[in-house]
């Protein structure tokens, strides 16, 4: 996840606090020493308690696929180990305003693209069938909402041919970027989202919901079952 590290227009410097809250990383800011929860981007201890950082659009992709669309990019040269868990263990969480919905990756893969709504915002969550790349896109074009399906859900990658197609119209888009292709002159806006273990999502968003192919289910109903 990517946050704008500003409070009231003032940049802050964050460091790893070294402790977990809700099984997730915490930060501290160098200015006040306040402790921040990573998933919510919210200060939970200290003078800035209750302040929140703005979550920015981001995506999970390979460096090769990213360079294809963003050839002038630079990467942070930092050591890293192979992850000990798979993307299919996670959910893509979208929080907009006071509403949040978690989209379990296996459920999204099952249908190709999750035509979802968070609050009153129509969104699409896409997981590339050939890779672990995912993206969150707006389904609003001008004054209409589009329903999307994924063509190429046979294991091809976004770069290799998977395409988002408007169910009742001519629109075609790159599922990784939302950019229009094959003559489509309107792009789908990218929206912020992040991945979380479903059990951790319940901790941070007790009033949230889980997206399902047959309709959303509230966190409360999940816990009751």
Mean pLDDT of all residues in the chain? 87
Per DSSP, the three-state class of 219 is: helix
Task: Examine the pLDDT at 93 and tell me if it is beyond 80.
Answer: yes
Q: How far apart are CA 172 and CA 185, in angstroms?
A: 9
User: In what order do the strands lie in the sheet containing 113-118?
Assistant: 113-118, 121-127, 134-138
Per DSSP, the three-state class of 10 is: strand
Contacts of residue 175, defined as CB under 8 A and 6 or more positions apart, other chains included, come to: 113, 126, 128, 135, 137, 150, 158, 162, 163, 164
pLDDT of residue 155: 40
Task: Examine the pLDDT at 200 and tell me if it is beyond 80.
Answer: yes
Predicted TM-score (pTM) of the model is 0.83
Task: Examine the pLDDT at 166 and tell me if it is beyond 90.
Answer: yes
pLDDT of residue 161: 65
Q: Which residue has the higher pLDDT, 132 or 197?
A: 197
Q: Which CATH class for the 57-71+88-225 domain? A: mainly beta
pLDDT of residue 99: 94
């Amino acid at each position: 996840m990517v946050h704008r590290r500003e409070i009231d227009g003032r940049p802050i410097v964050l460091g790893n606090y070294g402790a977990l809250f809700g099984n997730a990383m915490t930060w501290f800011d160098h200015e006040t020493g306040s402790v921040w929860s990573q998933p919510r981007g919210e200060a939970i201890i200290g003078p800035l308690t209750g302040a929140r950082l703005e979550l920015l659009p981001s995506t999970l992709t390979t460096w090769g696929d990213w360079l294809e669309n963003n050839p002038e990019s630079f990467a942070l040269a930092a050591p890293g180990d192979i992850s000990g868990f798979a993307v299919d263990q996670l959910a893509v969480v979208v929080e907009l305003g006071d509403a949040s919905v978690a989209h379990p990756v296996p459920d999204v893969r099952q249908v190709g693209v999750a035509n979802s709504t968070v609050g009153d915002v129509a969104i699409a969550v896409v997981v590339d069938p050939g890779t672990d790349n995912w993206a969150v896109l707006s389904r609003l074009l001008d004054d209409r909402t589009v329903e999307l399906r994924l063509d190429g859900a046979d294991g091809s990658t976004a770069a290799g041919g998977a395409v988002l197609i408007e169910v009742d119209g001519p629109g075609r888009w790159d599922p990784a970027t939302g950019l229009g292709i094959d003559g489509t002159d309107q792009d789908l806006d990218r929206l912020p989202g992040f991945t979380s273990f479903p059990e951790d999502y319940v901790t941070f968003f007790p009033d949230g919901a889980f997206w399902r192919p047959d309709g959303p289910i509230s966190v409360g109903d999940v816990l009751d079952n």
